[in-house]
Amino acid sequence: MNFFEHQDRARTSTTRLLLLFVVAIATLVVGTSYVVALALAAMQAKSGRHVEFGMALPPDILLGTATVIVSVVLLGALYRIAQLHSGGRAIAESMGGRLLSRNQPSLDETKILNVVEEMALASGLPVPPVYVIEDDAINAFAAGYRQQDAVIGITRGAIKFLNRDELQGVIAHEFSHIFNGDMRLNLRLVGWLHGLLLIGLIGAQLLRLPQGMSRERSQAAGGILVLGLALAVLGYTGVMFGNIIKSAVSRQREFLADASAVQFTRNPDGIGNALKKIGGYALGSRMLMNETTEISHMLFGEGVMRRGIGGMFATHPPIGDRILRIDPRWNGELINPEHQREIAYSSLPDEPVAAGGLHATAGKAAAAEALAAVLVSAVGTATAQSLELAQSQLSAVPDAVKQHLQTTLEASLLMYGVVMVQSEPGVVSKQLNMLQQTLPPASVRLLAKQLKLLLPMPRELDLALVALAQPALKQLSPDQLEQFLKITADLISMDGVVTLPEWGLGRLLRHYLDSTHAVAAKLDLDECSEECRVLLSALAEAGNDSADAVAAFAAACSKLELTPTTMLPADTTLLDKAIDKLIQLKHLQKPRLLKAMVACVQHDGKLTTTELDLLRVVSALLDCPLPPLQ
């Protein structure tokens, strides 16, 4: 199953899960309605009235109860989801997480940052912020609504007890959840379960009310007690069934994420030994904080001691079953991590890695169809080869440049520098003059130093720098972010001409830092024919002269069965509007568009760095992340 099928399945699973919760709420409504009728009958009987109550519910009671229950559940769910509006960051902070940066003195913390950066670059994703949870359990999680707002949380125990290969396996597992669309579903589960829980909490409060009632009002106490008890029982019963649904969904996704981690790293011992250490560790993966219960389905390992009858409430398969899926020859032996302390990887010398990959094979004039199939299959994955490429890119970024990615100010200035090094010298002087009027003098001086570091670097590393800057840039306040994006746009348009590489860089920064939630995947390709022509025209013009560009455009249109009308001018305003609509394509419709894009840029049998970077940028904007290609 590829990336697009996983995304489509995640959407289908969300729909099914929603239906199951609707059934749970309907059951609550019916059950509560009967109890409300009984409570009213009891209160009327206390007042001396003759009450006849049968199996048929009065319509007014049924409608009123249904309205109240549904309103409480929906409002409770929406309130909790609103609390989690910032995505993974809200989850990490609710767990007491501390944001890591390379300014931290701990070699162990540097080790986990290295692993996360490599995995992000290898998969074509922006580097997610990493939060350390001060808990001795061995556990981790990925949380967020979209790839752009994902964060990685990892416990102190995992950082302390897992070596580099094991951490890589765990992080690859979490990145699989990002690829497969699990994070958005997981956050919605938190909201829906909170809505169901409110019914039980209201019932518990009603049970306390009669204690403070006066004698005159005590006649209603019986009815209130019945109602409170019913709401408590029914509410917590709804939560119980909700947790059963949550756990069943989560267990299957954990097996998939384990398998994906092995596929990404080509090292089953990494994640396998991490699981063995959880099994052999006294505390295991159980975290000692109340918030764990709410997010237990997001964690790498079972976060709470709760199995239930037949493991119904277990959010994860048994450790032994997971290990056997990875290593069928496992002899049952576990590892006690407290008996062996691993050396921090960051204290070891870097090993040289060989660069290569898709770019090398593309230069041999491989068939466009074959190359397109390779690229589409590479979307949303990380492989051993792409990990090597990511390590190569990280090694090629000077340490002096990495040091400017730690704070929001330095990272912002460095991104201005990445924009400016693509400009002509005459334009750079104008850009500096504009910045001198906008920024404090100390910031301009720092930017001038950064430019001296950036100029000798290969431009192939620019996208890697954008990805590496994301943890710091995501800490910008809304006002700071608005200013950052405005200055970036002003720098790009300084000479009055926006080239496609400049457009791609600016649009990618906006995309990664966009705080809005994902748009609905609802459109078919035939509803976006004009937008496809706009995009393919821009790609055709990017790497071909006039005659070849027309032929490339026609070849790409044929892949989508579009009539190859006259090429459109490379207008970045039109391109922005086209991307805004194309991002709404259904997941299973996107591979055809990607293949047409490849046919366009590879028509002349060559793939330039500009074409490859533009292909990666457009793919990222369509939420189809491509790994490094050179």
Of the candidates 628, 550, 624, 614, the one whose C-alpha atom is nearest the C-alpha of residue 593 is 624
Of the candidates 328, 281, 329, the one whose C-alpha atom is nearest the C-alpha of residue 301 is 281
Is 386 within 8 Å of 628 (Cβ atoms)? yes
d(CA 568, CA 557): 13
**HSE toward the beta carbon, residue 190, CA cutoff 13 A:** 28
Task: State the sign of the Cα–Cα–Cα–Cα dihedral 127, 128, 129, 135.
Answer: negative
Of the candidates 349, 457, 361, 397, the one whose C-alpha atom is nearest the C-alpha of residue 127 is 397
Q: Are strands 151-155 and 98-99 parallel, antiparallel or unpaired?
A: unpaired
SS3 string, 134-148, reads: CCCCCCEEEECCCCC
SS3 string, 52-105, reads: CCCCCCCHHHHHHHHHHHHHHHHHHHHHHHHHCCCCHHHHHHHCCCEECCCCCC
Cα–Cα distances in angstroms (integers) from residue 127 to residues 152, 263, 267, 483, in the given order: 10, 20, 22, 22
3 state SS of 297: helix
Q: Which residue has the tokens 């756990």?
A: 247
Query: Which residues are paired to 131 by β-bridges?
Result: 99, 153
d(CA 150, CA 115): 16
- Which CB contacts under 8 angstroms, 24+ apart, belong to 439-444? 443/409, 443/413
Find the catalytic residue in 109, 117, 166, 174: 174
Is 393 within 8 Å of 464 (Cβ atoms)? yes
The single-letter code of the amino acid at 432 is: L
Task: Tell me phi and psi for residue 62, to 5 degrees.
Answer: -60, -50
Q: Kindly state the tokens that stand for 206.
A: 């009603």
The DSSP result for 498-533, as a single string, is --HHHHHHHHHHHHHH--SPPPP--B-GGG-HHHHH
The DSSP result for 232-248, as a single string, is HHHHHHHHHHHHHHHHH
Active site residue 93: no
Q: Which residue has the tokens 């950066």?
A: 117
Of the candidates 8, 6, 148, 142, the one whose C-alpha atom is nearest the C-alpha of residue 620 is 148
Interhelix angle for 221-265 vs 3-46, to 10°?
Answer: 170
d(CA 285, CA 409): 37
Is 73 within 8 Å of 198 (Cβ atoms)? yes
Task: Tell me phi and psi for residue 299, to 5 degrees.
Answer: -80, 160
Query: Exposure pattern of 363-384 as b/e (b: 16+ CB <10 Å)?
Result: eeebebeebbeebbebbbbbbe
Report which DSSP code applies to 155: E
Residues contacting 153, CB < 8 A, separation 6+ = 88, 91, 92, 95, 97, 130, 131, 132, 133, 140, 141, 142, 143
Catalytic residues: 174
